[in-house]
């Protein structure tokens, strides 16, 4: 059942549930930060509107820098600002930043330990019609593999705002992952958010399967959990919003108790949240695991709904994966 | 910036020779490293650290210090020698270059040694970082300048030209780029690997103030840095024509010495030449300059 201590959206399972893209929360959070902290600056690579940097640019023109279509320069300029007392947020589509500029992020931000916040937008396959070139499915892997880096994947627009605010308080490089499409609002303004602390969104008595997800697709895991509940199969849904550092304590405790895991993410099943969970569990409590995500292929154009269905990230697929996992437990 | 009086000129000459010896000793001891560019940039580093930069080695994080960014991190032996000799850390530590537990990494890392402003090694991103620092200075209304040393070969990286566009767009007059124009890179001469000329015209057309100098002439180096500080509407690039391996005759202008390991005998010969020059007080700057001081207004 929904965890009441988190003050989640009570209309979560209504068909009329409120929807908003997580990038909106980033835009709101950035403006709030601009008001609170004069050292926060923003850079964008010719995508001001769709990355939601536009309100910050409008309110704080002196602290906004348009770098043009030049993601490598954006990352390294931010690195220079970050070692000079500023808190730069850089924004572009995740396939370009941290895609195109991975090495600049590695050397000048991560190794250099510069206080830069990287906002990767339009992540996951649900970007839709733009097609595979614009669907970032590798960014969690390429960011979490870097030393010094924190990786946060907010579950909805509210959490995206809180994650943006929190990023400014984390000293050092942070990667924030946002999505384009409107997705259900899962949390409320009262829901707490602490980076590095997984949230138990759903928990039933005698759970048979543990779902661990990140990003808006966690909603599908919740729908799957509800479907299983109707079939009298209990489960737990963990929102692992912080992929790095992973909340190992919570993960291991639930995995030990339940005995099988399904990871759910809009990312390649190689190297993403699924990989992080497997790395942790194989060390502390080896657990059968099923992976929901992109199965080592590229995406294509289509509506988000059609794509999630075709590439087996739909509620039906998650339910099936759960049953496979339970059999293996 | 102070004028360059005769006694200071003599001091810089002998310090540059001292730093060259440090470079040869460090690289010979480490068994690997990049001597060509390190020796070629010795006069510029000497002038920066002992005359041009406003810095305080006892307070490496002084907020108003001038920043020096090394973009082509592989010539860090000359950076380490300059930092040690100006008092950032003990000179004895130079012999630990590239060894386990040393603060002197094979390519420079910010935070591992006092005085290092940025991590570098992979080429092409130092100008962007320096531009970020110059932007921060402007935001904070501080008067420090940002100097960045670039190699000519790294101008083949696209990131450099992104930063060249950006710095001109934001009129970063607090930024001075110094290009080590020695015409060599690992695989040969720059003009045969991937031609860069006309480099000066390129920078001018991008909206930069361009000065060309002889990179071994201390008066040129000081004058060009002073000129760049007086430009208030554009960033400045100083294209410094240098000789790779300068000071050791068998290494000069030979691209194979970009990063070739010394044999014991070669290191001894190189040091002998440098020490001989020091004793005789041989003055490069008294020789006629190979390149004229040219300011492209």
Query: What single string gives the DSSP state of each residue in A117-178?
Result: EEEEESBSGGG-TT-GGG-B-SHHHHHHTSTT-EEE--SSHHHHHHHHHHHHHSSS-EEEE-
CB A319 within 8 A of CB A224: yes
CA distance A277 to A297: 21
The distance in angstroms from the start CA to the end CA of chain A is 22
| Residues B165-186 pLDDT 10s | 999 999 999 999 999 999 999 9
Query: Among A98-102, A232-236, B135-139, B292-296, which is the least confidently predicted range?
Result: B292-296
CB A22 within 8 A of CB A154: yes
Dihedral over alpha carbons A137, A141, A146, A148 (to 10 degrees): 90
> Is the bond preceding B198 in cis, omega lying within 30 degrees of 0?
yes
Q: Is B154 on the interface with A (CB under 8 A)?
A: no
Residue in this structure with the two tokens 């907020």, named with its chain if needed: B63
How near does any CA of chain A get to the CA of B158, in Å?
A: 9
Instruction: List B residues 114-153 in contact with A (Cβ-Cβ < 8 A).
Output: 117-122, 124-126, 128-137, 139-140
pLDDT computed for residue B264 by the predictor: 87
- pLDDT value at A123 more than 80: yes
Cβ pair B166:A67 closer than 8 A: yes
pLDDT computed for residue B289 by the predictor: 76
Dihedral over alpha carbons A121, A122, A125, A131 (to 10 degrees): -130
Q: What percent of chain A has pLDDT over 90?
A: 100
Q: Which of A41, A77, A79, A96 to mutate to test the interface with B (most CBs of B within 10 A)?
A: A77
CA distance B76 to A9: 56
Cβ pair B129:A73 closer than 8 A: no
For chain A, how big is the Rg over CA atoms in Å? 19
pLDDT computed for residue B69 by the predictor: 98
**Residue B51: DSSP 8-state:** I
Q: Is A171 on the interface with B (CB under 8 A)?
A: no
Read off the tokens for A250.
């919570």
Indicate the pLDDT class of residue A10, thresholds 50, 70 and 90. very high
- pLDDT value at B287 more than 70: no
- pLDDT value at B283 more than 70: no
pLDDT computed for residue A270 by the predictor: 98
Largest CA distance in chain A: 59
Does the annotation count A71 as an active-site position? yes
pLDDT computed for residue B125 by the predictor: 97
Indicate the pLDDT class of residue A158, thresholds 50, 70 and 90. very high
pLDDT computed for residue B277 by the predictor: 86
CB atoms closer than 10 angstroms to residue B100 = 5
Alpha-helical segments (H) within B59-102: 76-85
**Chain A residues touching B111 at Cβ < 8 A:** 112-113
User: Cβ neighbours of residue B193 under 8 Å, at least 6 residues apart?
Assistant: B153, B156, B185, B187
Q: Considering the entire predicted model, what is its pTM?
A: 0.95
In a 3-state reduction of DSSP, which class is residue A261?
Answer: strand
CA distance B34 to A5: 61
Strands (E), B155-195: 175-181, 184-185, 188-189
- pLDDT value at B234 more than 80: yes
In a 3-state reduction of DSSP, which class is residue B248?
Answer: coil
How near does any CA of chain B get to the CA of A243, in Å?
A: 26
- pLDDT value at B16 more than 90: yes
CA distance A145 to A182: 29
- pLDDT value at A328 more than 90: yes
User: Cβ neighbours of residue A324 under 8 Å, at least 6 residues apart?
Assistant: A290
pLDDT computed for residue B284 by the predictor: 62
CB A150 within 8 A of CB A175: yes
pLDDT computed for residue B58 by the predictor: 97
| Residues A255-269 pLDDT 10s | 999 999 999 999 999
Q: What is the mean pLDDT of residues A69-96?
A: 98
CB atoms closer than 10 angstroms to residue B30 = 20
- pLDDT value at B279 more than 90: no
Indicate the pLDDT class of residue B259, thresholds 50, 70 and 90. confident
Find, in chain A, the residue whose alpha carbon is nearest to that of B161: A73
- pLDDT value at B71 more than 80: yes
Indicate the pLDDT class of residue B282, thresholds 50, 70 and 90. low
CA distance A2 to A13: 10
């Amino acid at each position: 059942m929904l965890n009441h201590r988190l003050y989640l959206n009570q209309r979560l399972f209504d068909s009329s549930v409120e929807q908003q893209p997580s990038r909106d929360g980033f835009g709101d959070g950035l403006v709030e930060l601009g008001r609170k902290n004069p050292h926060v600056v923003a850079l964008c690579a010719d995508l001001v509107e769709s990355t939601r940097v536009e309100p910050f640019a409008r309110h704080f023109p002196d602290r906004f820098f348009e770098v043009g279509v030049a993601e490598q320069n954006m990352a390294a300029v931010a690195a220079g600002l970050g070692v000079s007392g500023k808190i730069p947020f850089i924004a572009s589509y995740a396939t370009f930043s941290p895609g195109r500029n991975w090495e600049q992020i590695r050397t000048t931000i991560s190794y250099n330990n510069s206080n830069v916040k990287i906002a990767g937008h339009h992540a996951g396959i649900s970007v839709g019609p733009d097609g595979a070139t614009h669907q970032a499915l590798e960014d969690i892997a390429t960011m979490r593999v870097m030393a010094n880096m924190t990786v946060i994947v907010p579950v909805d627009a509210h959490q995206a705002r809180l994650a943006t605010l929190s990023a400014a308080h984390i000293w050092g490089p942070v990667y924030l992952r946002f999505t384009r499409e409107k997705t259900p609002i899962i949390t409320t303004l009262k829901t707490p958010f602490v980076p590095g602390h997984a949230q138990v969104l759903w928990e039933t008595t005698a759970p048979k399967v543990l779902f661990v997800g990140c990003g808006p697709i966690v909603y599908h895991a919740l729908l799957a959990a509800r479907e299983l509940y109707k079939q009298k199969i209990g489960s737990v849904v963990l929102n692992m919003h912080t992929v790095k550092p992973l909340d190992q304590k919570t993960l291991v405790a639930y995995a030990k108790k339940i005995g099988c895991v399904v990871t759910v993410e809009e990312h390649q099943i190689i190297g993403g949240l699924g990989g992080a969970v497997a790395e942790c569990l194989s060390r502390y409590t080896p657990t059968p695991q099923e992976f929901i995500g992109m199965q080592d292929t590229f995406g294509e154009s289509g509506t988000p709904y059609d794509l999630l269905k075709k590439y087996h990230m739909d509620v039906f697929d998650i339910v099936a994966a759960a049953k496979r996992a339970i059999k293996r437990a | 910036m102070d004028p360059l009086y005769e006694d200071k000129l003599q001091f810089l000459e002998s310090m540059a020779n001292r730093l060259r010896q440090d470079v040869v000793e460090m690289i010979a001891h480490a068994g690997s490293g990049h001597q060509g560019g390190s020796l070629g940039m010795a006069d510029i580093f000497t002038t920066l650290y002992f005359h041009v930069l406003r810095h305080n080695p006892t307070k490496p994080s002084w907020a108003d210090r001038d920043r020096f960014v090394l973009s082509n991190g592989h010539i860090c032996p000359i950076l380490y020698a300059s930092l040690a000799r100006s008092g950032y850390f003990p000179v004895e530590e130079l012999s630990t270059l590239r060894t386990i537990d040393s603060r002197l990494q094979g390519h420079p890392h910010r935070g591992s040694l006092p005085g290092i402003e940025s991590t570098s090694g992979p080429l092409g991103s130092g100008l962007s970082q320096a531009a970020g620092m110059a932007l921060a200075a402007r935001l904070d209304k501080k008067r420090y300048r940002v100097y960045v040393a670039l190699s000519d070969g790294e101008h083949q990286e696209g990131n450099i030209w992104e930063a060249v566009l950006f710095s001109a767009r934001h009129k970063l007059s607090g930024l001075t780029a110094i290009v080590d124009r020695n015409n060599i890179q690992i695989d040969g001469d720059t003009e045969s690997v991937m031609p860069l000329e006309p480099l000066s015209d390129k920078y001018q057309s991008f909206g930069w103030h361009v000065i060309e100098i002889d990179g071994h002439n201390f008066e040129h180096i000081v004058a060009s840095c002073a000129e760049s500080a007086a430009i208030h509407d554009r960033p400045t690039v100083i294209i410094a024509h240098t000789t790779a391996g300068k000071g050791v005759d068998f290494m000069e202008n030979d691209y194979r010495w970009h990063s070739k390991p010394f044999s014991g005998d070669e290191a001894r010969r190189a040091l002998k030449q440098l020490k001989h020059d020091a004793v005789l007080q041989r003055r490069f700057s008294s020789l006629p300059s190979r390149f004229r001081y040219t300011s492209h207004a």
